[in-house]
Amino acid sequence: MALLPSLLLALVVFSCGPGGSLGCDRPPNHVLLSRENVELLRRMSRISSSLCLEDRKDFRFPRATEDGSEVREAQAISVLHEMLQQTFNLFFTEHSAAAWNSTLLDQLLQALHRQLEALDPCLVREMGKEGSALAMQGPTLALKRYFQGIRLYLKEKRYSDCAWEVVRLEVMRAFSSTRLLLERLRNKNRDVESP
């Protein structure tokens, strides 16, 4: 199997550079890549979400990750990496393989893998500056707990089709929230850099 994509691609497809915001430069086509990730997740839908209303759950996406109030610039890279890695881990399982169209799942996993590889140099650079404790702080740790809750939910629901549908929608929402975080941080950086 390959790897998995999402709206976080906007930050995940970074390449390190001295002048880029968040410590890395984004490729100009990040919006298209983000749309590709969301589109893949959208296309993965196998059943109507209206059939799964009883299975809905509020997974409580970490507020600090969503609004950026507690996320420093260096932490944003760690948060993005964690989001991609956790999403990849979630969909790179036997249970996931049984639930989704294998072609679409492979495309998603491949895209996530490419994004993680592109973000790795940025993460290494930021971790060198901030120390390895960065990955275990506030927003990143909250994201780990968030995905642990999703995994527990799937297990409790015995990896049912409706449970996977609820999770698919939740991951799409999480990617959108993370993309918004990145945009807010970029705008904040522009405001600081402006005379």
What's the CA gap between 178 and 8, in Å, rounded? Answer: 6
Helix axes 73-91, 161-193, angle to 10 degrees: 160
Name the pTM for this structure: 0.76
Q: Cα 69 vs. chain centroid, distance in angstroms?
A: 18
181 DSSP β-pair partners: none
How confident is the prediction along the chain (195 residues), in pLDDT tens digits per residue? Answer: 433 333 233 333 333 333 344 445 543 334 445 667 778 999 999 999 999 999 999 998 887 665 555 556 667 778 888 888 999 999 999 999 999 999 999 999 999 998 888 888 877 776 666 555 555 567 888 899 999 999 999 999 999 999 999 999 999 988 887 777 667 666 765 665 555
Residue with tokens 């799937």: 154
The DSSP output letter for 16 is E
Q: What b/e sequence results for 166-178 when a residue is b if at least 16 CB atoms lie within 10 Å of its CB, and e otherwise?
A: bbbbbbbebbbbb
Q: What angle do CA 25, 26, 28 make, to 5 degrees?
A: 130
What's the CA gap between 178 and 185, in Å, rounded? Answer: 11
- Asked if residues 23 and 122 have their Cβ atoms less than 8 Å apart, the reply is yes
